[in-house]
Chain A
Amino acid sequence: MLRRAILRRIIIGIVTLFVVSVMIFVGTSVLPGDVAEIILGQMATPDSLAALRHDLGLDQPAYIRYFLWLGDLVTGDLGISKAGAGFGTVGTAISTMISSRLMNTFRLAGMVALIAIPLSLTLGLAAAMYPGTRLDRIITFSTLSLISLPEFLVATFLVLILAVQLGWLPSIAYMSGNETGLQLLRVLALPTLTLVIVVSAQIVRMTRATVLNVLSSPYIEMAILKGMPRKRIILRHALLNAIGPIVNVIALNLAWLISGVVIVETVFAYPGLAKLMIDGVQTRDLPLVQACAMIFCTTYVVLIFIADMVSILSNPRLRHPR
Chain B
Amino acid sequence: MGKRKKIHAAIPELKNELAKGNLSRRDFIRNATLLGVSAAAASQMAGFMLPKKVFAATPRKGGFVRMAAEMHGPDDQMDPIVATSTIDYTRMHVVYNGLVQILDNMSLHPELAGEWSVNKSATEYTFKIRKGVHFHDGSPMTGHDVVWSMRRHLGKDSPSVIKALMASVDEWKLVDTYTVKAILNSPDADLPAKLGEKQAKIVKKDTKDFKKGNGTGPFVLKSFEPGVKSTHARNKDYWRDRPYLDEVEITAITDPIARVNALIAGDVQLITAVDAKSIRLVEQAQGVHISSTPTATYGGICCLKNTMPGKDDDFVKGMQYIQDRERIVRSILKGHGMVGNDQPISPAFGKDHCHELPQREYDPDKAKWHLNKAGISTAELYTAPIIPGLEEMCLLMQANLKKIGFDLKIKRMPTDGYWGSVWMKEPMNVVTWNMRPTANAMLALQFAPGGAWNDTFWNNERVGELLKLSLAETDPVKRHGMYCEMQTLVHNGSGMVIPYHVNSIDGINDKIHGIPKQPLGFLGGCEWPEFAWIEA
Contact = CB atoms under 8 A, between A and B. Distances in A.
Interface of A: 31-33, 35, 37-45, 47-48, 51-52, 55, 81, 83-87, 89-90, 92, 97, 100, 156, 159-160, 163-165, 167, 170-172, 174, 266-269, 271, 275-276, 279-280, 282-283, 285, 288
B258 A266 contact: yes
B48 interface: no
Given A41-B419, A86-B79, 5 more contacts: A40-B159, A83-B74, A89-B209, A271-B227, A275-B227
Contacts of B74: 81, 83-84, 97, 276, 279-280, 283, 285, 288
A197 to B, nearest CB: 18
Interface string B67-83: 01000011111110110
B73 A283 contact: yes
B49 interface: no
B422 to A, nearest CB: 10
A171 B257 CA distance: 11
B211 interface: yes
Interface residues of B, number: 52
A157 B1 CA distance: 12
Nearest to A156: B257
A169 B158 CA distance: 48
A279 B227 contact: yes
Nearest to B203: A86
Interchain residue pairs A-B with the least CB separation, the first 6: A86-B79, A279-B73, A84-B226, A83-B75, A171-B265, A283-B75
A28 B74 CA distance: 17
A159 B251 contact: no
A298 B420 CA distance: 34
Given A89-B208, A164-B265, A174-B267, A40 B75 contact: no
Interface in B68-120: 68, 73-79, 81-82, 84
Contact of A172 (B78, B157, B267, B423): B267
Given A89-B210, A163-B261, A165-B1, A38 B75 contact: yes
Nearest to B424: A42
Contacts, number: 151
Given A86-B78, A97-B74, A269-B262, A276 B84 contact: no
B421 A33 contact: yes
A65 B443 CA distance: 41
B227 A90 contact: no
A33 B81 contact: no
Contacts of B209: 89-90
Say whether chain A's binding surface is mostly helix, strand, loop, or mixed: helix
A268 B267 CA distance: 11
Contact of B211 (A33, A84, A279, A280): A84
Nearest to B83: A86
Contact of B158 (A33, A48, A83, A90): A48
B229 to A, nearest CB: 8
B419 A267 contact: no
B77 to A, nearest CB: 6
B254 interface: yes
A73 B73 CA distance: 23
B430 to A, nearest CB: 12
Nearest to B156: A47
25 contacts: A39-B82, A39-B84, A40-B84, A42-B419, A45-B163, A51-B158, A84-B74, A85-B210, A86-B211, A87-B79, A100-B228, A156-B257, A164-B264, A164-B265, A165-B1, A167-B266, A170-B265, A266-B254, A267-B255, A267-B257, A269-B258, A279-B75, A282-B73, A282-B416, A285-B75
B452 A171 contact: no
Interface in B170-214: 207-211
A84 B453 CA distance: 25
Nearest to B157: A51
Contacts of A170: 265, 267
Contacts of A275: 227
A129 to B, nearest CB: 41
Interface in B243-282: 251-255, 257-258, 261-262, 264-268
A229 to B, nearest CB: 51
Contacts of A163: 261, 265, 267
Contacts of B257: 156, 267
A142 B78 CA distance: 49
A266 B227 CA distance: 12
A86 B255 contact: no
Interface of B: 1, 68, 73-79, 81-82, 84, 152, 156-161, 163, 207-211, 225-229, 251-255, 257-258, 261-262, 264-268, 416-417, 419-421, 423, 452-453
B381 to A, nearest CB: 19
B420 A33 contact: yes
A48 B68 CA distance: 30
Contacts of A276: 74, 227
Nearest to B259: A269
A164 B417 CA distance: 36
Contacts of A90: 208-209
B420 A45 contact: no
Contacts of A32: 417, 420-421
B434 to A, nearest CB: 9
B82 A159 contact: no
B73 A159 contact: no
B417 A43 contact: no
Nearest to A269: B253
Contacts of A81: 74
A164 to B, nearest CB: 5
Contact of A86 (B1, B73, B82): B82
B90 to A, nearest CB: 16
Contact of A92 (B226, B228, B255, B262): B226
A202 B225 CA distance: 35
Contacts of A174: 251, 267
A44 B419 contact: yes
B217 to A, nearest CB: 17
A222 to B, nearest CB: 56
B292 to A, nearest CB: 22
Nearest to B207: A89
B395 to A, nearest CB: 24
Nearest to B80: A86
Given A51-B157, A87-B159, A172 B452 contact: no
Contacts of B68: 269
A163 B266 CA distance: 9
Contacts of A48: 158-160, 163
A172 B84 contact: no
B208 A269 contact: no
A279 B73 CA distance: 5
B85 to A, nearest CB: 9
Contact of A271 (B163, B228, B420): B228
B226 to A, nearest CB: 4
Nearest to B231: A176
A31 B226 CA distance: 23
B267 A171 contact: yes
B151 to A, nearest CB: 13
B78 A171 contact: no
A311 to B, nearest CB: 39
A20 to B, nearest CB: 21
Contacts of A42: 419, 423, 453
A79 to B, nearest CB: 13
Nearest to A42: B419
Contact of A87 (B81, B227, B453): B81
